[in-house]
Structure formats: structure tokens, C-alpha cells
Amino acid sequence: MHARDLYSYYGKSPVLQGVSFDLAPGEFLSVLGRNGVGKTTLLKTIMGLTDRCAGALAFGDSDLLSLSTPQRSRLGIGYIPQGREIIPQFTVRENILMGTFARTDGRREIPEYLFEMFPILGDFISRRGGDLSGGQQQQLAIARALAMDPKILILDEPTEGIQPNIVKQIEQAIIRLNREHGLGIILVEQNVPFAREASDRFLVLDKGRVVMSGRSNELTDSIVEEHLTF
């Protein structure tokens, strides 16, 4: 995925202002920054959920900005939004099956490894999504994205507000998906130690612009001090 000079608007106000980044297949990119600097907007822009965009955004050979949101998803971009947004009235099974609607081969089965990765989803398969705890809903949201057999996952603060024992599980799952399944990952994260441990490269946003980027081992404490602490 390549972004060049990307602008994204809500109404008339540009939330992203000239963002550029590159992500090679199978690479892990963390997007860092304080609240309200445009991290979530960057992911929404990739999915086509903002009002208007300018600049260039490519995924493989496809020009994303010319495609609708459903078309983008069918290219294999799995989006796990902030607040999870699972369908509360759907059962766990229906929520996961929903992910398969973005498949291009028309298959409608749930991959077995999802239940090995998140055993709780197998136990609660017939419960309504809205009845699960926050952490379980987050696992469900990740499973839903994986059911589409994506090439890349984009995750918006997947461990925010989740009980600590599940945070560890989710972090390990994300690392495993990247290392073992070769999935490309863009992760919006507040947790700097996890971003440093998991990702290949990082991007720091401030006021809609990229103020710093580099390899994860270059993510020094002074950068954290300058751009990420309040």
C-alpha cells in the first residue's frame, strides 16, 4: 500500500494534510500520535469512510480513491474499527459470517483456525454479539475481518478499554497473524512498548501530518517524549 500527499476531509475541514507512507506486503506499520491528530481518520480514509479525499492511495495495482467502500473491502482489506462495531443483534456466528461477504470466491465458511486463536468465540457461537464483553467483542471483530481472508488488516486501537488478560491474547494474535500468516498490518496504537515490539516501522502523526517515521528500533524515548506524551 502506498500513500502520496493524501488529504482527507470531513465537510470542508482537511483532517489529513499531505500524508505519505509505504507498506510492503507482509510488513507491520504502527501509527502513533496523540488524540485527535488524525490516526482514526487515516484508517477511515483507507476504507473510504470520509467525505472527500485528494492525493494518491494505491493498494497493489488498484487506485483506492476511485473505488467504493465495498469494492475496497473485496480487495482484501480487513478493517477493525475503533469501538469494534460488531453487529449487536447478530449472533457470534452471523457476525463472523458477515466477514465472508467481502470474499471474492463466494465461499461462506468460517476458517477453523479462528476458534483455535479465540476459543471463547467457539464457546459463545450462538450468543448475540451485543451480549459479549468488550474484550470478547474485540476478538469477534478480528475474527470477522479474518473470515474475509484478507491480505492486510487495519486495526484501530484494538486493546483500548479491554481487560488486561485479553489484551495480551489480542496482542499475541496480531503478532502471530503478521509473522505466521504473512498478513500486512497497519495498527493505530497508544501503547508504545507494544508498537515497538510488534511493528517493523512506525509513523507519528501530529495535526494531520506525518512528523516522524522510521524503523521501530529508531522509536526512541526522546521521540516518545516530544510527540506522544501529553
Spell out, one character per residue from 105 to 144, where the chain touches other proteins: x when CB under 8 A holds, - when not.
Answer: ---x-----------------------------------x
Residue 89 Cβ, how far from other proteins at the closest point, in Å? 6
Of 89 and 229, the one with the shorter C-beta distance to other proteins is 89
Give the binding range for other proteins (CB under 8 A) out of 55-63, 81-89, 158-166, 172-180: 81-89
Instruction: Give the residue carrying C-alpha cell 483500548.
Output: 160
* Interface residue with other proteins, options 26, 56, 67, 74 (CB under 8 A): 74
Of 50 and 191, the one with the shorter C-beta distance to other proteins is 50
* Interface residue with other proteins, options 54, 67, 97, 120 (CB under 8 A): 97
The 8-class DSSP code of residue 217 comes to G
Residue 138 Cβ, how far from other proteins at the closest point, in Å? 14
Residue 199 Cβ, how far from other proteins at the closest point, in Å? 23
Give the binding range for other proteins (CB under 8 A) out of 15-23, 33-41, 99-107, 131-139: 99-107
* Interface residue with other proteins, options 89, 126, 165, 222 (CB under 8 A): 89
Report the phi/psi class of residue 224: left, alpha or beta, with left for phi > 0 and alpha for psi in -120 to 50. alpha
Cα separations in angstroms, 26 against 77, 117, 170, 200, 202 = 13, 20, 19, 10, 15
Q: What is the three-class DSSP state of 77?
A: strand
Burial of 212 (0-12, 13-18, 19+ CB in 10 A): middle
Site size for other proteins (CB under 8 A)? 24
Of 103 and 209, the one with the shorter C-beta distance to other proteins is 103
Angle at 60 between CA 176 and CA 22, to 5 degrees: 70
28/19 Cα distance (integer angstroms): 18
Question: Cell for 179?
Answer: 509473522
* Interface residue with other proteins, options 5, 36, 51, 69 (CB under 8 A): 69
130/85 Cα distance (integer angstroms): 10
Of 49 and 212, the one with the shorter C-beta distance to other proteins is 49
Entry field: residues in the chain: 230
113/119 Cα distance (integer angstroms): 10
Asked if residue 148 binds other proteins (CB under 8 A), the reply is yes
Interaction site with other proteins (CB under 8 A):
47, 49, 68-70, 73-74, 79, 81, 85, 87-90, 94, 97-99, 101-103, 108, 144, 148
